[in-house]
Structure 1
Amino acid sequence: MSILSVIKQVCPVIGLTVPDAVFASTEREHIELQALANEMAQRIAFDTRDWTRLKVLATITGDGTATGFDLPSDYKRMLKKARVWPSATPYAPFSHVPDSDDWLAMTVQNYQSITGAWTLIGDQIHIKPVMANLATASFFYLSNKVVKDKDGVPKVEFSADDDVFRLDERVLKLGMIWQWKANKGQAYAEDMVNYEDALAVSSGGDKGSNILAVGQSRRSVNADCAFPGTITP
């Protein structure tokens, strides 16, 4: 479903005339809809969970000298639970050093983590110790390209009526409805609940780490229900 189709479903609910075009328009309401669509797409994509459709595997290759490596061009952020796995020690991932002072202390005091370590500085991922020539390190990250154009090419945001949201369009529609009403000072509580419910269902259907393990009860596969009556010898 194109973003124009989503907006056409949003407009009757928020009291706007259904448009024939939005992203080529200069009307104020259409410009507001453009901004709202992109804002809600960003919230859904990055503020809730690590969506499987946006996960990308990155691999960096050492040259025996470099300690810093440019992040991918579409890098948004690391996954909420991410590890960097080196080819040299595949059973021991690099340790993450999130604190920049701790990383600087490692440099100044010239000591190394036994398993190796990584941190993010600027637009680079830094590795200690120096990776050997052709040694690799791999990690998953979240892509910032939440939209696809009409040819299926991923892009960062909506800029044309025929662009498509890479995630659930219904969640996007409901999100735009409640946020538009909130922006205009209208009653939006019920619409926000509808959005949150739809987001929860969509998140639950996305493959990833589950907070609760849901499955069959602990009962033998071949177990049968007990006979409800009384057996008399």
Structure 2
Amino acid sequence: MTILSVIQQVCPVIGLNVPTAVFSATDRELVELQALSNEMAQRIAFDTRDWTKFKTLCTLTGDGSTVGFNFPSDYKRMLKKARVWPSASPFAPYTHYSDTDQWLGITVQNFRSIIGAWTMIGEQILIKPAMANLSTAQFYYITNQIIKDKDGAPKVAFTADDDVFRLDERVLKLGMIWQWKANKGQAYAEDMTNYEDALAVYAGADKGSNIIAVGRGRTPVDTDLAFPGIITP
């Protein structure tokens, strides 16, 4: 479903005429809908969970001397739980120093970790000691390309009517409805509840099968089990 189709479903609910085009329009309400669609898409994509569709593998390759590596061009953030795994030590990840004072301390002290260490400063990920030539370090991150154009190419934001949200369009629609009403001072509590319920259901399905099922069905005390064999007349 294109973003134009989403907005066309939103408009009757919020009391606007259904448009035939949005991102080429200059009417105030349609400009507001352009901004709202991008704001809500960003919120759903980045503020709720690490969606599997946006997880992207980054591979850094050493040259024997480089310590600082730029993030990928589509980098948004690391996963909420992520490690950096070196090819030189596949059974143990690098040690993460989130505190810059600690990182400066090991630098000044010339402390050498057994496996290696990493941190993020500025727009780079730093790894010490420098990785050997052609050795690698890998980690997953969240891409900022949450939209697709009409040809399927990923992009950062909605800019055309035929762009498509890479996550569930119904969640986007419900989110736009409640936020529009909230912005305009209208009653929105029920609409926000509908959005939160839809988001929770969609998020719950964004994973593979559980390896361990939590709990199990219980057989009533007076239930007789069927004979497991085959009865031949």
Fold shared per TM-score above 0.5: yes
Distance 1:111 1:209, change over 3 A: farther
Structure 1: give runs of 5+ residues left out of the alignment: none
User: How many Å separate the matches in 2 of 1:64 and 1:118?
Assistant: 16
Matched, 1:60 2:71: no
User: How many Å separate the matches in 1 of 2:170 and 2:24?
Assistant: 23
- What does 1:36-185 align with in structure 2 at a 5 Å threshold? 36-185=36-185
Distance 1:17 1:115, change over 3 A: same
- The residue identity in structure 1 corresponding to 2:137 is A
User: How many Å separate the matches in 1 of 2:34 and 2:89?
Assistant: 48
User: How many Å separate the matches in 2 of 1:7 and 1:90?
Assistant: 48
Shift of residue 101, structure 1, vs aligned partner: 1.1
**RMSD across aligned C-alpha pairs, in angstroms?**
1.8
Q: Are the equivalent residues in 2 in contact too, given 1:52–1:208 (CA < 8 A)?
A: no
User: How many Å separate the matches in 2 of 1:228 and 1:11?
Assistant: 55
User: How many Å separate the matches in 1 of 2:33 and 2:150?
Assistant: 20
User: How many Å separate the matches in 2 of 1:208 and 1:227?
Assistant: 36
User: How many Å separate the matches in 2 of 1:96 and 1:10?
Assistant: 45
User: How many Å separate the matches in 2 of 1:33 and 1:208?
Assistant: 34
User: How many Å separate the matches in 2 of 1:54 and 1:73?
Assistant: 14
Distance 1:227 1:197, change over 3 A: closer
Distance 1:154 1:118, change over 3 A: same
Shift of residue 209, structure 1, vs aligned partner: 11
Shift of residue 55, structure 1, vs aligned partner: 0.5
User: How many Å separate the matches in 2 of 1:228 and 1:177?
Assistant: 50
Instruction: Give 3-state SS (helix, strand or coil) of 2:12's partner.
Output: helix
User: How many Å separate the matches in 1 of 2:44 and 2:209?
Assistant: 17
2:14 aligned partner: 14
Structure 2: give runs of 5+ residues left out of the alignment: 225-233
Distance 1:228 1:96, change over 3 A: closer
Shift of residue 215, structure 1, vs aligned partner: 4.0
Distance 1:87 1:15, change over 3 A: same
The list of structure 1 runs, each at least 4 consecutive aligned residues, that deviate by more than 6 angstroms after superposition, is: none
- The residue identity in structure 1 corresponding to 2:205 is G
Calculate the TM-score normalised by the size of structure 2. 0.91
Shift of residue 207, structure 1, vs aligned partner: 1.1
